[in-house]
Structure formats: C-alpha cells, structure tokens
Chain A
C-alpha cells in the first residue's frame, strides 16, 4: 500500500509544479462560470412556473461544476499513454505491484493535484463575489465531502478504463473524446440534471456519470437532503466497484496479448 501512497505524493508534488496551467484553467473556468450564471439568471427571471431546483441551488451547482470540472474523465493519463507508445510499459510490468492499482493511483494522484490547485481559489472567489453559498447544514457539507471523494474515485476508475483501452488502440484519442462528451453532458456539467425531463432523468440517474458531479453538488445545496445521502453515495460506490472490476478484467486480457516491440 505504501508504494501507492508514495506514488500519490510524488505525483501531487509534480502536479503542483504546473502553476501556469492552473492559472489558465482558473481564468477559463471563472469566465465560463460567469456566462453560465447569466444564462441561468435570465432563464429564472423569464420563467413563471416553479422549477425543480431553486435559483440558489442552481447557482451553487454551476459554481461547483466550474470549480471541480477536472473530476470528469477528461483526458488520458499522459505518462502511461507515452509509456505504451514507446514500449517503456515493459518497466511497469517489471514491478512487483498490481498493475491496475499502480495505474489507478497514478492517475488519481495526478488528477487530485490538478483539482486541488484549481478548486480552492475558484470556490473562494465564487463564494466572495458571485453568489455561491455555503451548504445549508453541517450534515449537507459532510455528505458533500463524502460524495466528492466518491466522485473522484469514480472519475479515476473511468480514466483508468480509458487508459487500459490504450493497450488496443495505442492512441486512445477516439475513446477519450467519446467518454469525455458522454461524461460532460450526462454528469450535469452542461445543464444540471434536475432540469432534464422525467423520462431522461430515470436513465441519467442510473448511469454512472451523474455520480461525478450531480450527486455531490445536489448534496451540497441540500437538493438531496442529507438523510437521503446513503442511497446516492451507495450508487457511486457500486459504479466505482463495477468499473474497477471491469478495468481489471480488461487489463488482464490486454496483458495476455501484449506485444512489447523493439529495444
């Protein structure tokens, strides 16, 4: 276990080096956040009928989406991608570790580093100036943090799955684009999931993507009351376990047909 922790720490330090990328990401997220805020502001002003989610809850939802966007399985783990292309992946197999967890923690560490760098400042700015409110209760805050942890694990399981697909596709561009768009739309990052029609919500609530953003953000604002958090977090957990098992199975099959050329 300590090997994974060490890997985590090293990646975290590495990620913290990239300040320029974090600053640029921060600016972009703030800009888009403001535009989306204006769109939903206009929507609430022009609409007479009661909405499935309140204005304040929507504002919280929007800012959290902006702050934590990198929880989504946006991109492949660059380091592993390069290793598979160059054949250095041979070294990964020459380590006395379980390859799946090795990759899982590697990408978890990298992702957490970039999330930590961007989320804190953006949350603070949005809370100070742009209408983001603290959670209504300690229970909601606790449920949110727990579910945020679950979302990060779930996002990482999806990223690792994408990474494993590299054993077949080498470049991985296609699969990562596809998953990226699915996750972006179905997690509620474009339009919060409560705004979707009821029939769509039934499907969306079943899919794993809601667990990436929708679940923690609705727990934050109390749209899902804290006493109902266990079902929501349980679903995140179930999907994470299922995706990890799927990833391990695919990886085992991939390694059997692995060809490490040259050298």
Chain B
C-alpha cells in the first residue's frame, strides 16, 4: 500500500471581505460579506515510501494547505486521506510522532533557548530514548555543521543557520516522512546547497520527502517526480522531463561569438536573446539535431565557445501558470 493516499481532498476557507476606505469599514459593521476560497478543489495523488516529491505551484495554489492537511493540522471539508495507514487529523498525536515538518517561514525552535536545549526539549516531547537521540543528534550536527551554533540562542542565529537547525530538529525523532514547506526560502546560495544536500542524504536513507518550493533549482537538484498544483487542482503529476516535454521540446544553443557585431542567421533556429558576445538561439530538435545545427553554425561563423541547454524550468512553469491564469 502506498505511504500516502489522497483522494478528492477539498478544503475551503471563508474570507471576510470589505470595501476599501472608511465607508467600506462602516458597511462591514452591519453587513459582512464573505467570499469562499477553495484552497483545495479535489486533490488526488498517491506516494510510495522512499519517494522525493517536489510540490510546486504559484503563491496561493494550495501547497501549504495540502501539507497542513497531510500533517494533521487542518481538517479538510471532504475527501479521503491516509498517511501511513492513518487519517492524520483523527489520530493526530500518533500520526505526528512519525512525521517531521518544517515550515520555512517559521521556526520550531524556542526563541530564547540555545539550540541544544531546544533539541533536548524535542527529545522529551517525542520520547526519544537517550542513546538513540545522541546518535541521531551527533549525526545531524556533523551533517549540517551545527557544532558552533549549538550554544547560541535561536534569536541570534542568521536565517541560514536557523534553517539548518530547524531541519535537524525536524529529524531528531527519525520520522519516516518529512514535509518540508519552502525550506530554502530566503537562504543564500551556500545554505541552499547545504539544505539540498541534507534532503538528498535523508532521502537516500529511505525517508520520504514532500518538498514544496518556489525554487526550481531545488526541484532540478532533488526531485524525480513533481506535482504541479494551481488553484487547488493538480495540473501535472510525473517526472520533470515529462513536464518539459509536455510544454515544449525546444532546446537552446548558447554561443559565445568572437566578434560582437557578427550577425547570426539560420533557417531552423530563432534568436532568443542577444547580450554582447553571448547569443542564445532556440531550435526544435525534431526539425534539426543539435549536432547538425552546431556544425552549420561553426562552419559559417567565428565562434569562441558554445553549449546546448534545456530551457530553464522556471520558464516552463511560468508558461503553465500563465496558461492557467483566470
């Protein structure tokens, strides 16, 4: 049986609305208008143990709501949801003992306590046997290089440091399933790499991960499977390559010209961008193979360097978001 089964999950929120300005506020006193927002509009998917799934979608798509339902925090209006054989919100306590969560914009550490004391508290809360705890903790401290941070109160940590500690905290009780809600938000490049490395390592140990993010580099670096959601519905479920193929098969050829003023033209490729010596062409590999195009270009123009690449996943995803926009 899959580790997660979600069928037709629906969750609506009621949002109070009022018109702008004093008059709107006064009117709101007597007659309040509500708007119903369908945060989840019939979501279905399954996930096997050990998978690492990227959950992507624009802001307000319903990603966080899904994660909160799956982790037992929110109760959906209708639909079926089984995580490791349990209904999360019905058996919340038993359920959350086996999962780990990170909400990237918030911390689960105690603001005024040194990191190590937060860890100790979590040990008590999850009733982790001391030996097991020390082993996991030392492993995590080594993996995330937390040693110098352990005695610092959380409020004095930088965002990147805090996130590393938060991720370690989510795994102290060795959950089988991790929900990571935007764990790389606001992090610098080095911290992002550390976080990705950590996620990859845990996943290799057999931990399933659901990762929501806006950072497509996270997705490319980590996820074989992605779920793309918008306005409460799943638009795509499958491999990153399949998504790419579904949207467009185009490839891009980036050329570094010897002379800036060279004018490049080819019947099977269009100029996409021109930036000094750099020129980006796009072409359809079904019409012309990359090798043939390169041969033609290098024969005709003076080229210093060139390489072929896929269009950035960002562009693909943005294209889907736009097609779907109301």
Note all chain B residues with C-beta closer than 8 A to A260.
68, 73-74
In the complex, chain B residues 68-85 whose Cβ is within 8 Å of any chain A Cβ: 68, 71-75
Note all chain A residues with C-beta closer than 8 A to B108.
88, 91, 94
How many residues of A are in contact with the other chain, CB < 8 A?
Answer: 27
Q: Are B94 and A96 in contact (CB under 8 A)?
A: yes
A17 and B200 alpha carbons, distance in the complex (Å): 40
Q: Within the complex, which residue of A14, A88, A256 is in contact with B113, where a contact is CB–CB below 8 Å? A: A14
Q: Are A10 and B110 in contact (CB under 8 A)?
A: yes
B33 at the interface (CB under 8 A from A): no
Closest Cβ–Cβ distance, residue B89 to chain A (whole Å): 9
Name the residue of chain B whose CB is nearest to the CB of A255. B75
Closest Cβ–Cβ distance, residue B233 to chain A (whole Å): 20
Q: Are A263 and B73 in contact (CB under 8 A)?
A: no
Contact with B along A1-42 (1 / 0, CB 8 A): 011011100100010010000000000000000000000000
Q: Are A88 and B106 in contact (CB under 8 A)?
A: yes
B96 at the interface (CB under 8 A from A): yes
In the complex, chain B residues 108-164 whose Cβ is within 8 Å of any chain A Cβ: 108, 110-113, 117, 120-121, 124-127
B218 at the interface (CB under 8 A from A): no
A95 and B98 alpha carbons, distance in the complex (Å): 10
Total A-B contacts with CB atoms under 8 angstroms apart: 82
A81 and B96 alpha carbons, distance in the complex (Å): 23
Interface size class of B (residues with CB under 8 A): 20 to 34
Are A259 and B13 also in contact (CB < 8 A) when A3-B127, A7-B121, A10-B113 are? yes
A87 at the interface (CB under 8 A from B): yes
A17 and B110 alpha carbons, distance in the complex (Å): 15
Are A98 and B93 also in contact (CB < 8 A) when A3-B124, A6-B121, A91-B103 are? yes
In the complex, chain A residues 211-261 whose Cβ is within 8 Å of any chain B Cβ: 256, 258-261
Name the residue of chain B whose CB is nearest to the CB of A91. B108
A7 and B125 alpha carbons, distance in the complex (Å): 9
Closest Cβ–Cβ distance, residue B35 to chain A (whole Å): 14
Q: Are A263 and B113 in contact (CB under 8 A)?
A: no
Q: Are B106 and A90 in contact (CB under 8 A)?
A: yes
In the complex, chain A residues 79-96 whose Cβ is within 8 Å of any chain B Cβ: 79, 86-88, 90-91, 93-96
A97 at the interface (CB under 8 A from B): yes
Closest Cβ–Cβ distance, residue A101 to chain B (whole Å): 11
Name the residue of chain A whose CB is nearest to the CB of B92. A93
Note all chain A residues with C-beta closer than 8 A to B68.
90, 260
B3 at the interface (CB under 8 A from A): no
A197 at the interface (CB under 8 A from B): no
B289 at the interface (CB under 8 A from A): no
Are A2 and B127 also in contact (CB < 8 A) when A10-B121, A94-B101 are? yes
A198 at the interface (CB under 8 A from B): no
Which residue, of A6, A79, A258, has the highest number of chain B Cβ atoms within 10 A?
A6
Residues of A whose CB lies within 8 Å of any CB of B are 2-3, 5-7, 10, 14, 17, 79, 86-88, 90-91, 93-98, 256, 258-263
Residues of B whose CB lies within 8 Å of any CB of A are 13, 64, 68, 71-75, 92-94, 96-97, 99, 101, 103-108, 110-113, 117, 120-121, 124-127, 181-182
